[in-house]
Structure 1
């Protein structure tokens, strides 16, 4: 069995590489997908396709439509979603992706530090599993593939 896992979360740190490296080291049969990690590409995709927009609000709207299409397709394809809420960055896209996963009935592993417990309590209760670290999430993923003999 091979799983497709959508990695939702901020694109400014290397947490996705950490997940992918650990999955490879554990020899887990996982294909990873996720949001566009090239921030400039994500911000400019609307104008790259549709041409220059008359103001920043319409530029954002054009990019958002295309990014939402991409994200929606990849989330629907995913067997499981891992959403990381870190300490440093604003987490609006992560919250949107995690709640979309819940709405689609996708299993969700929510990674959030203890300091975010209160802010994410409702989402945490909707998640399949809530953990506090990438290592804990990897242990959950590893357990999925464990044979119960």
Structure 2
């Protein structure tokens, strides 16, 4: 049985590649989806499809509508959501994606460092499982396959 995992979180480093690499090492039958990781493509998709907008507000609004549609479709098709919170970047999109997954009743594994226990306490309480590392998140998923 292959599960699809939505990887929610910031798009500024290669943490998703690390998840995929470690899942392969653990021989977990997983496929992965997530947000558009090409930042320029994500920011410009509204104008790429709808044409030039009359200002930055409208440009962002058009891009947001299309990005939110993409997220909704891929998240609905996923079996599990991993939401990674790091310390290096603002995590607004991660919080939004994790909240969306919880609202959709998707199983959520939240990864966050010890330093973010307090600011993420409510979100962590709503997630199914909260861990501190990618390996711990994958071990939780691996337990699904443990007969």
TM-score range, shorter chain: over 0.9
SS at match of 1:54: coil
Report what 1:27 is aligned to.
Answer: 27
Write the distance in 2 (CA, Å) between the matches of 1:145 and 1:19: 17
Deviations 1:20-68 (A, max 9, x none): 0011112211110000000000000000000011111100000000000
Q: Please, which runs of 5 or more residues in structure 2 have no aligned partner? A: none
CA distance in 2, matches of 1:141, 1:116: 22
1:107-126 matches, cutoff 5 A = 107-126=107-126
Alignment length (residue pairs): 147
Compute the RMSD of aligned alpha carbons: 0.7
| Unpaired stretches in structure 1, ≥5 consecutive residues | none
Q: Secondary structure at the match of 2:43?
A: helix
* Aligned structure 1 segments of 4 or more residues deviating by more than 3 angstroms: none
**Structure 1 residue 2, shift from structure 2 partner:** 1.0
Describe how 1:126-141 pairs up with structure 2 within 5 A: 126-141=126-141
Corresponding residue for 1:80? Answer: 80
Deviation sequence 1:120-145 (CA, Å, 0-9, x none): 00110111100011121121121111
Q: Normalising by structure 2, report the TM-score.
A: 0.98
